[in-house]
Amino acid sequence: MAHHGARGIPLVVIRRLPIYQRYLDELNRMNIERIASPELAARIGITASQLRQDLSWFGSFGLQGYGYNVPELLRAINHIIGLDQKSRMVLVGYGNLGRAIAGYEGFQRRNFLLQAAFDNNPAKWGPADQGITVYSLKELPQYLKDHAIQIGILAIPSATAQATADLLVNAGIQGIWNFSPVRLNVPPNVIVEHLHLTNSLMTLSLKIHQHVANHSGDDLP
């Protein structure tokens, strides 16, 4: 049995939705109104029937002989992912990685709003780049209570990741985006998503060593 979420959506489908979003968003910004199902599927590197099956978890999309209406499907997928609502985030750890995350393009356009950063180092406290302010970690629990924060980003060393995750969990966080290479213990209602830099690098290495050509869709920006 494959692993499924509460609603039974397979993990592979969940992982593909962001890829659909990114590609449809790109088409939409190019003012492309319509795309055939096999073409969309090919750009993403799956079959047309897989695409239809994936989307059928969330409703009925596309018309026989017409394909998909790009803005409509994008809107639907944005709603599925939750991009039609603002997600407020805090960043814990304002080192090189934290600063890089804070400066990353493409969050705000998808309604992910970084509200504040927290760090143990007093030298970092105060106004910082991107219009955010860095606070003491001691202020984190109160800040989370005072603001409706959905997502906590952990960009701290592994050693302190669990203790910080506990703070976030106790303050009612919904999701943790974890950049520390450590497994976190959280209650089942809190979602943890790890960012695995090495997965991406290993995929690159595998393609080099197996002489796998670039897949279309795989080079999406």
Q: Within 120-159, which residues bind a copy of itself (CB under 8 A)?
A: 150-151, 158
Where do the DSSP E strands lie in 86-205?
Answer: 87-92, 112-119, 126-127, 133-136, 151-154, 175-178, 191-194
CA-to-CA dists, residue 204 to 42, 139, 165, 218, angstroms: 20, 41, 31, 11
Nearer to a copy of itself, 106 or 141 (CB): 106
> CB-based contacts of 82: which residues, under 8 Å, 6+ apart?
none
Nearer to a copy of itself, 6 or 138 (CB): 6
Window 178 to 217, contacts with a copy of itself (CB under 8 A): 180-184, 186, 188, 191-217
- Name the DSSP class of 172: T
> CB-based contacts of 162: which residues, under 8 Å, 6+ apart?
182, 184, 185
How is residue 41 written in tokens? Answer: 């599927």
Nearer to a copy of itself, 35 or 46 (CB): 46
Q: How many CB atoms lie within 10 A of CB 88?
A: 16
Interaction mask 14-53, a copy of itself, x per CB under 8 A: xx-xxx-xx-------------------x--xxx--x---
What is the closest distance, in whole angstroms, from the C-beta atom of residue 112 to a copy of itself in the complex?
Answer: 6
Q: Rule CB under 8 A: is residue 7 a binding residue for a copy of itself?
A: yes
Q: Rounded to whole angstroms, how far apart are CA atoms 94 and 81?
A: 27
- Name the DSSP class of 25: H
Closest CA to 18 of 105, 110, 115, 91: 110
| Span of 12-20, 28-36, 60-68, 134-142 interacting with a copy of itself by CB under 8 A | 12-20
Nearer to a copy of itself, 9 or 171 (CB): 9
Q: Rule CB under 8 A: is residue 67 a binding residue for a copy of itself?
A: no
CA-to-CA dists, residue 151 to 12, 13, 55, 148, angstroms: 23, 22, 26, 10
User: Applying CB under 8 A, what is the total number of residues that bind a copy of itself?
Assistant: 84
Taken as a whole, the chain contains a residue count of 221
What is the closest distance, in whole angstroms, from the C-beta atom of residue 99 to a copy of itself in the complex?
Answer: 4
Nearer to a copy of itself, 104 or 138 (CB): 104
List the one residue from 56, 66, 104, 172 that touches a copy of itself (CB under 8 A): 104
| Span of 13-21, 65-73, 130-138, 140-148 interacting with a copy of itself by CB under 8 A | 13-21
What is the closest distance, in whole angstroms, from the C-beta atom of residue 5 to a copy of itself in the complex?
Answer: 3
What is the closest distance, in whole angstroms, from the C-beta atom of residue 187 to a copy of itself in the complex?
Answer: 10
